[in-house]
Structures are given as C-alpha cells and as structure tokens.
C-alpha cells in the first residue's frame, strides 16, 4: 500500500508506507490532514456540572457572598501553631487575612465584626461545617453563636458540603495566593514579624482589587427573613435499599435514590421552621422535599 504525503515540510519526499507499520496514531494523523476528523471537545474539569452543583441557586441568595476559612501554619523552629482567618469575595476579587489566637467561635464573631466595620456587609457568608461556624457536632437543629451573630447583621449563612473545600472556591483560591505570595515567600522570625508582613500583603490585596473604587449601598433590612442554606451531596443509605440521604444539623433526611451522588441545596426558614430541599436542573429550582424542621429549644434564639 502506498500513501503520498502532501506536506513536504514534514516529509521531503514521497514515502512508501508498509501496511504492517500502520497504527492508530498514523490513521488519526491522516484523517486530520484530510479534514475528515472532528476536533476534540475540551473536557470539563471537576464534577460540579454532572453532579448538578447548585451554582445558580447559590448565586440567587445574594449579590455579595463573602467566604471565610481558617488556616494554620508553623514558623520554622517554633512548636506553637499560628492561626489565621481568611476573607474572600469573588465578585470583588477581594481577599484579606487576619492572625487570630485560635479557631474558635469567639474569634470568628470578633473577626467578622472587624470585617463588617472596616469593609462591607455582605448578603451572605459561605463557610464550611467547622464547629466554630456551624455549632454542635451532635445536637440536632441548633443555632450556633456565629449564626446568631450573622442574623443580627441581617446576613444569610451558607454551609458547604462536608469535606468539599472546592465548594468554597473563592477563599480556597485566596488561600493558595496566601501560601504562594505570602507564607512561602518569606522566612519569618516571629509572630510579630508575620503581623508586619501580613499588613503589607493585605494592603497589596486591596490595591490589586481596587477596593477603594467600589461603592456599597446600605443593606435593606425590612424584608430580611432568617434563613440558613446547606449545600449537601446525596449519599446512598445502604440500609434502606438504595435510598439516598443528606445530613443537615445532625438530622438525617431521606431522599429518592435517583439523587444519589448529586448535589442539593437545603433552605431552612426559621420563621416557619420548614426545611425545603431543592435540586438544580438546567438552572431551574426544583423542590424535592419539604418537612417540618423545628428549632432546638436549647438554642435560645428569638425569631
């Protein structure tokens, strides 16, 4: 069998090709040259699309969503860890970090108060399920001190799916910048040295996002409804014949097996004490479960 290669830049002369030497890569190259092959589509990274991560529904909760997270680091030669809390807002390309004494709910409220006084009041705060944020690890349907504080400021809490840091993509991305451009870029001698350089890093971050050019309208509080949102992936309950389930504030909620391995967004209205579980499909909000979800009496919260 003889094939004449037209591209003389690759093959300066006509070349005989033995049929025994033809392989898949050779066939693909020939089809591509003759315009008979279709271009490959780029694969979508991650599983957020096919697992129906409720990106649009989350975006509808508010225009300004602040993400927060804790970071722990060690100075070389010192045994005591250093703790930081990070703030990030994707809409504004905004990031700030503060060194704190520990990852506690007291420090969380203290640093959120500092942030609100110095920057802006967001529509919602998105965070993971750490005890300093969500509260009890065993009691059901409780309201943490952090949640109460956010309600006082008319801010909606959003909790990500457990063990899914990519759900907090903005602050996780900021954490990478923090590590690359700050922590790994200097050799720190003391906590005081960290504080000085952290101040310069934060100022540089503000200049990068042109924070001073942003104008913020005062939040309208009159229509505020205390609600909490929970991003949850549906897992299979092996004891219930393939039924699915999610866990919200230590309460197991059964769902249809067809939602296993997909994401949901649960909305807890504290005025009605009703929990709605939604599924996002092609940008549409579909209610798949509604149930009574009373506030734990020990929470001592007035709605």
C-alpha 176: how far from chain center: 14
User: Do 226 and 151 touch, CB atoms closer than 8 A?
Assistant: yes
d(CA 199, CA 178): 12
What is the per-residue pLDDT for 168? 80
Residue range 134-159, pLDDT digits in tens: 999 999 999 999 999 999 999 999 99
Question: Number of helices and strands (H, E) in the chain?
Answer: 7, 14
Residue range 67-113, pLDDT digits in tens: 999 999 999 989 999 999 999 999 999 999 999 999 999 999 999 99
Residue range 211-234, pLDDT digits in tens: 876 666 666 666 899 999 999 999
Pairing of strands 124-127, 65-73: parallel
d(CA 263, CA 255): 12
User: Do 89 and 65 touch, CB atoms closer than 8 A?
Assistant: yes
Q: Phi/psi class of residue 238: alpha, beta or left (left: φ > 0; alpha: ψ in -120 to 50)?
A: alpha
Tokens of 208: 């990068």
User: Do 160 and 133 touch, CB atoms closer than 8 A?
Assistant: no
User: Do 100 and 82 touch, CB atoms closer than 8 A?
Assistant: no
41 pLDDT higher than 70: no
For residue 159, list its beta bridge partners: 127, 230
What is the per-residue pLDDT for 117? 95
d(CA 137, CA 131): 7
User: Do 260 and 228 touch, CB atoms closer than 8 A?
Assistant: no
Taking the CA atoms of residue 130, residue 131, residue 134 and residue 136 in that order, the dihedral angle to the nearest 10 degrees is 140
pTM for the full predicted model: 0.81
Helix, strand, or coil (residue 231): strand
d(CA 146, CA 151): 9
User: Do 110 and 50 touch, CB atoms closer than 8 A?
Assistant: no
């Amino acid at each position: 069998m003889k094939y004449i290669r037209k591209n003389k830049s690759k093959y300066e002369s006509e070349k005989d090709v033995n049929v025994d030497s033809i392989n898949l890569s050779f066939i693909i190259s020939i089809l591509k040259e003759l315009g008979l092959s279709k271009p490959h589509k780029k694969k979508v990274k991650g599983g957020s699309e096919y697992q129906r991560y409720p990106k649009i529904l989350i975006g509808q909760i508010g225009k300004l969503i602040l993400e927060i997270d804790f970071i722990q680091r060690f100075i070389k030669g010192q045994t005591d860890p250093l703790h930081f809390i990070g703030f990030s807002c994707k809409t504004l390309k905004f990031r700030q970090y503060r060194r704190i004494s520990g990852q506690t709910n007291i420090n969380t409220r203290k640093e959120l108060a500092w942030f609100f006084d110095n920057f802006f009041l967001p529509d919602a705060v998105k965070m993971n399920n750490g005890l300093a944020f969500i509260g009890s690890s065993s009691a059901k349907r409780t309201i943490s001190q952090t949640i109460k504080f956010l309600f006082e400021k008319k801010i909606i809490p959003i909790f990500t799916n457990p063990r899914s840091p990519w759900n907090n993509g903005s602050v996780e991305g900021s954490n990478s910048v923090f590590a690359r451009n700050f922590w790994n870029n200097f050799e720190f001698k003391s906590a005081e040295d960290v504080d000085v350089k952290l101040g310069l890093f934060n100022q540089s971050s503000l200049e990068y996002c042109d924070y001073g050019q942003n104008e913020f309208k005062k939040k309208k509080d009159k229509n505020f409804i205390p609600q909490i949102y929970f991003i949850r992936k549906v897992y299979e309950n092996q004891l219930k014949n393939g039924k699915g389930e999610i866990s919200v504030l230590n309460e197991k909620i059964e769902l249809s097996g067809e939602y296993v391995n997909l994401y949901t967004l649960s909305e807890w209205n504290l005025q009605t004490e009703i929990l709605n579980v939604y599924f996002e499909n092609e940008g549409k909000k579909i209610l798949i479960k509604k149930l009574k979800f009373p506030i734990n009496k020990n929470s001592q919260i007035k709605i």
